[in-house]
Structure 1
Amino acid sequence: MGICPICKTGRIVDKGKFYGCTNYKATDPCTFSLPKKWSEKSLGKTAIKDLITKGETSKLKGFKSKKTGKKFDAKLTIKEGKLSFDFG
């Protein structure tokens, strides 16, 4: 998928239920990973590549709130190694 945005040396690969860094078993392990599904929305390869290379996606449709059950649209970003929503 691309170079890990956190350690900059490992590669992000498909691990089955998620995408993860190949340096997870390195001397200085990298634990960065991205889910294939987030708030009941499947994340496509384009979204994962955008997160890895740009640090954010374009606005994605079809997320579902855990609290209200309502659907909503948002960008995804990586901040401090964590996936989060950007409603801006």
Structure 2
Amino acid sequence: MFEKVLEESHSWDFLPLLSNNKEKIAIGHCKLCSGIVIDKGKFYGCDQYLITNCSLSIPKKIAGRDISSVQIKKILETGTSSLIRGFKKSQKNDTFDAFLTWDNIEEKVKFSFEGYDRKLNSKK
């Protein structure tokens, strides 16, 4: 029996078990090319970066707030996120609420207050 196990051991492949490669989950279609946006650790980026030098990159943390893959998916599909509360103002202990939108001209995510009444702290 031991001889059979020893013989079979030459064909065992443990590499997939040792690999740190996480399965890449598609979040949405890239706004800049035909690629797929995936979670790259500290940011969301295009899977075609190495092939086409696609520059799409969206940080997972913006103004002190974690940005979920659900919000990124919504931005990629519709151009805007849901209202996100609690962004931190720089140099202050104050926060603000905003939408994140895709700017086609600057090719990046930006804050938007359109449709949001900050004085009433509610959506118009």
Q: TM-score of the superposition, structure 2-length normalised?
A: 0.65
Listed as ranges, the gaps of 5+ residues in structure 1 are none
- Consecutive aligned runs of 4 or more in structure 1 exceeding 2 Å deviation: none
User: Which structure's residues are more often helix, by fraction?
Assistant: 2
**What are the equivalent positions in structure 2 for 1:55-66 lying under 5 Å apart?**
55-66=79-90
**Distance in 1 separating the partners of 2:92 and 2:69:** 28
Q: Which one of 103, 112, 117 corresponds to residue 86 of structure 1?
A: 112
Higher relative contact order (CA 8 A, sep 6+): 1
Q: CA deviation at 1:46?
A: 1.3
Q: Which one of 5, 8, 12 corresponds to residue 37 of structure 2?
A: 12
Question: Once the two structures are superposed, what CA deviation does each residue of 1:15-64 show, in whole Å capped at 9, x if it has no partner?
Answer: 111110011111x3211011111000001121110111111112110100
Report the RMSD for the aligned CA atoms in angstroms: 1.1
User: Which structure's residues are more often strand, by fraction?
Assistant: 1
**What are the equivalent positions in structure 2 for 1:27-66 lying under 5 Å apart?**
28-66=52-90
Identity %: 40
**Distance in 2 separating the partners of 1:69 and 1:86:** 21
* 1:25 maps to 2:50: yes
How many aligned positions are there? 86
Listed as ranges, the gaps of 5+ residues in structure 2 are 1-26, 115-124
Larger radius of gyration: 2
Structure 2 equivalent of residue 70 of structure 1: 94
